[in-house]
Amino acid sequence: MTQSFLSTLELAERWRVSPRTLEEWRGRNRPPYPIKMGRRVLYRMSDIEALEQAELNRVLNTSTQSGE
């Protein structure tokens, strides 16, 4: 299985945040957790998609519960 990766700039663009925000999260040991390959900082696409799905589930559960 081939693993796909995003660079800091690519992930920042995908999530519409600044690369500096991702650097700050990295410094605080917050997800998404990167992989360092030499000087490159990369994020696994599978981890990114899992975080996005978890956030979507959280938002959907919150909106469902508040509607009761």
User: How far is 54 from 24, CA to CA, in rounded Å?
Assistant: 21
The pTM assigned to this predicted structure is: 0.82
Percent helix / strand / coil, the chain, rounded to 5? 55, 15, 25
Residue range 5-66, CATH number: 1.10.1660
Domain ranges, ordered by start, for the chain: 5-66
pLDDT tens string, the chain, 68 residues long: the values are: 678 999 999 999 999 999 999 999 999 999 999 999 999 999 999 999 999 999 999 998 876 776 65
Amino acid at 25: W
